[in-house]
Amino acid sequence: MLAAYAVHVAQSRGRRFPEPQHLYRNDFQRDRDRVIHARAFRRLEAKTQVFTRRYSDHFRNRLTHTLEVSQVSRTVAGALGLNVDLAEALALVHDIGHPPFGHAGEKALDTAMRRHGLSFDHNLHALRIVEDFEQRYAAFRGLNLTFEVREGIIKHSHDYAVKEHPELDHYLLDLRPPLEAQLIDLADEIAYNTADLDDGYEARLLSLEQIRHGVPVFDGFFREVEQLYPDVSEKLQFNEALKRVLNRFVEDLIRNTQRRIHECGIQTLDDVRAQGERLAAFSPQVEAERRQNKQFLYDNLYFSSSLADEKDDAERIVGDLFAFWINHPESLPRSYQEKAQEESLPRIVCDYIAGMTDPFIFEQHEKYCG
């Protein structure tokens, strides 16, 4: 049973291009399936999350991270009485606009675009992907996703102002997104804050002592695990402690969001949208723990000297190729040359690079930049 404040598929604002109802799948289930079958979704498998395959092929990539966010999102949505199908579709599509090389690639693309008075935003790029780039249907361009999924793509992690993005006014920018969209960013935080500790430890870039000292919530659970399982390996003790951290974040998100829904007297989806701030949130104590965990990762992993060379290479490769195609647009694939007749060349070059996988962009750099 869905809560009254959930998004009910029967009340969806629908698709840009009307389609007949499917025999045994509702519209949000169809959206989920369209995302899974999209080329851009498949390419996530070869895009960096934090570690490239130089370290190991056991670490998370952008696709496996997305699947973990989906799992957390389904759990939270189900516990809150929300539309699990919508939450799952949003989780699966939330990172589809990321370029190669993770955040280093995004930074480099944005820097290149700003030299032309433009910018790169992976949420807005994701919207371009599902509305235009994916071509699987004869009747329309894009995936023709429901309004609620397209709205969630741009609003799940950021509030855009109408003055800055009038082209997005259709997406009710003056209102909060549904709870199904609100929880995605927090599920994302839970997934990578715990997974990156795991991968950093496995890569031996983070020691157990570092993590215990820098992440007190982990240390508290590790002490508990040591008492329960004194004879198992350190790695199994680590796994048990990290599992408890993840559970703590998920359970707190559910309980605190339930409390806020009750305190605000939320009865309908319109009530959710009308709130001055987002309702999905951690409690103050767990929010402080989340921030501490995240800061530890920034200080000790994301900006680690061990990863610095790879980040520098990523930014150089993106910058080199962007400059090359700006100066030699005739070297772009024909379809992008044709698009450049309708939109600015910097935007078209940005689109092309953003869609690449890590291996493909290396090939292109070797081909054009030596």
pLDDT for residue 169 is more than 60: yes
Predicted pLDDT of residue 27: 98
Please tell me the distance from the alpha carbon of residue 153 to that of residue 16, in angstroms, as a whole number: 16
Task: Kindly state the average pLDDT of the residues 277-288.
Answer: 98
Q: DSSP label at 135?
A: B
Which residue has better confidence, 311 or 115? 115
Query: Does 54 score more than 80 pLDDT?
Result: no
> What's the pLDDT band for 339 if we cut at 50, 70, 90?
very high
Q: Which distant-in-sequence residues (6+ apart) come within 8 Å of 221 by Cβ? A: 240, 241, 242, 244, 245, 248
What is the Cα–Cα distance from 141 to 133, expressed in whole angstroms?
A: 7
Indicate whether 347 pLDDT > 80. yes
Looking at every residue in the chain, the average pLDDT score rounds to 95
Coil, helix or strand for 289? helix
Question: Are the C-beta atoms of residues 300 and 214 closer than 8 Å to each other?
Answer: yes
pLDDT single digits (tens) 181-214:
999 999 999 999 999 999 999 989 999 999 999 9
The answer on pLDDT for 218 being more than 90 is: yes
- Closest Cα to residue 211, out of 286, 300, 291? 300
**Residue carrying structure tokens 């989780």:** 91
pLDDT at position 57, please?
65
| Matching residue, tokens 């951290």 | 245
Q: Which amino acid is at 336?
A: Y
Does the pLDDT value for residue 51 go beyond 80? no
pLDDT reported for residue 282: 98
The model's confidence at residue 52, banded by pLDDT at 50, 70 and 90, is low
pLDDT per residue over 239-279, tens digit each? 999 999 999 999 999 999 999 999 999 999 999 999 999 99
**Percent of the chain surpassing pLDDT 70:** 98
pLDDT digits (tens, 9 = 90+) for 60-95: 899 999 999 999 999 999 999 999 999 999 999 999
Q: Can you list the domains of the chain with their CATH numbers?
A: 9-306 (1.10.3210.10), 309-369 (no CATH)
The alpha carbon of 281 is separated from its chain's Cα centroid by a whole number of angstroms, namely: 17
| Amino acid at position 23, single letter | L
d(CA 201, CA 296): 13
For 97-115, write each residue's pLDDT tens digit.
999 998 899 999 999 999 9
The reported pTM is: 0.95
Q: How much is the pLDDT for 59?
A: 85
What's the pLDDT at 49?
82
Q: 3-state class of 61 per DSSP?
A: strand
Sorting pLDDT into bands at 50, 70 and 90, what band is 50?
A: confident
How far apart are alpha carbons 242 and 238 in whole angstroms? 6
pLDDT, position 12 = 96
**Residue among 245, 262, 126 nearest 189 (CA):** 245
Identify the residue whose tokens are 């951690």: 282
Residues facing residue 142 across a β-bridge? 135
**Mean of pLDDT values over 4-13:** 97
What are the pLDDT digits (tens) for 28-49? 999 999 999 999 999 999 998 8
Higher per-residue pLDDT: 58 or 125: 125
For residue 54, what are the contacts with CB-CB under 8 A and spacing of at least 6? 310
Determine the pLDDT at residue 367: 96
